[in-house]
Each structure stands twice: as C-alpha cells, then as structure tokens.
C-alpha cells in the first residue's frame, strides 16, 4: 500500500519555502467554493460528452450501439442540469447574466456553457472562439442568436 506522506511532506516544504520568499502565487492557486463545487462537475460532463460523441460517431460508421446513446444522453443532460442548479446557487446574479444574454431557464446547454465560461474565466477574443473553447457546449445544427 502506497503512502502519500512523502508527497505531502514535499508539498509542505515547497509551500514553506514559498512563504519565506513571499512567492506563494507562483505555486499555489487559492481555491474558492466555485472551484470545489463546479469544476469537478464540468470535468465529469466533458468526459461524458466526449464518450457520447465517440458513440455517436461509431453509430454513424455502422457499429451497433444499441440503447447506449439514449442512456448516455440522459446522463449528460442530468449532469448539465446539476451544473446549472449549482451555478444558480453559487454564482451571484447568474440568472440575471443569462437573461441579459437571451437565455431562458429551459436552455440547459446554453446555461451550462455560461457556467463554464464564468468558472474558467477565460477571456476570449470572439464569440466563436468562446464556443470552440468549450467543445462540449457546441451547438451544431442550431441557429444561434447573438
């Protein structure tokens, strides 16, 4: 059985040294409640969506996937609803931001994308690069209103 005491000791020494040099920002990023609550869900949703895309691509080639697509679509939708619910609870004025962007409460994909943009806090040069950054929130075949 492997013990993490050695790794924890090394991390503590790095942290202690960075405190002495007043350089903690270089090694350690402060965590906030949004990081703890929403990032794991966003990462889980990304993995599930990539698997869904893989299964869809396999079915287009002719592989018999059975009812796996419907089950995975339901799981992805449930995770997205959970992301939106937690974002509403954790991010102040989340619904106000969504309304100003023209999103209603039923647009789960758009709200999930908005939560991802707010969490990752990525400044992008355009709307299209913002959509490409979150490949899981692509809106293929849908008409986008700006």
Please compute the mean of the pLDDT values over residues 61-81 and round it to a whole number: 88
Confidence of residue 47 (pLDDT cuts 50, 70, 90): very high
d(CA 104, CA 62): 37
- Same domain, yes or no: 13 and 43: no
Handedness of CA 34, 38, 42, 44 (dihedral sign): positive
Reference 73, options 44, 38, 48, 54; nearest CA is: 48
d(CA 53, CA 76): 11
Do the domain assignments include residue 145? no
- Same domain, yes or no: 55 and 112: yes
Contact between 91 and 118 (Cβ < 8 Å): yes
Please compute the mean of the pLDDT values over residues 10-32 and round it to a whole number: 72
- Same domain, yes or no: 115 and 50: yes
Domain extent at residue 91: 31-137
What's the distance, CA 135 to chain centroid?
10
Tokens describing residue 13: 């020494």
Structural domains in the chain (count): 2
Give yes or no for residue 143 having a pLDDT over 70.
no
Residue 9's pLDDT is 75
Q: Give every CB contact of residue 94 below 8 A, 6+ residues apart in sequence.
A: 87, 88, 114, 115, 118
- 137 or 111, which is more confident? 111
Do the domain assignments include residue 142? no
Confidence of residue 48 (pLDDT cuts 50, 70, 90): very high
pTM for this entry: 0.63
Give yes or no for residue 145 having a pLDDT over 70.
no
Give yes or no for residue 74 having a pLDDT over 60.
yes
User: What burial class does residue 36 get, using C-beta atoms within 10 Å of its C-beta: 0-12 exposed, 13-18 middle, 19+ buried?
Assistant: exposed
Residue 114's pLDDT is 80
For all residues of the chain together, what is the average pLDDT? 75
Q: Which has the minimum average pLDDT: 26-40, 58-72, 124-138?
A: 124-138
């Amino acid at each position: 059985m492997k013990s993490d005491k050695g790794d924890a000791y090394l991390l503590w020494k790095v942290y202690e040294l960075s405190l002495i040099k007043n350089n903690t920002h270089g090694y350690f990023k402060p965590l906030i409640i949004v990081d703890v609550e929403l990032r794991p869900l966003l990462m889980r949703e990304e993995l599930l969506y990539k698997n869904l895309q893989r299964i869809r691509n396999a079915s287009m080639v002719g592989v018999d996937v059975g009812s796996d697509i419907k089950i995975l679509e339901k799981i992805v939708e449930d995770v997205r609803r959970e992301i939106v619910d937690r974002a509403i609870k954790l991010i102040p004025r989340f619904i106000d931001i969504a309304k100003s962007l023209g999103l209603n409460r039923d647009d789960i994909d758009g709200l999930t994308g908005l939560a991802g943009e707010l969490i990752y806090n990525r400044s992008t040069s355009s709307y299209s690069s913002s959509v490409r950054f979150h490949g899981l929130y692509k809106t293929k075949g849908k008409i986008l209103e700006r």
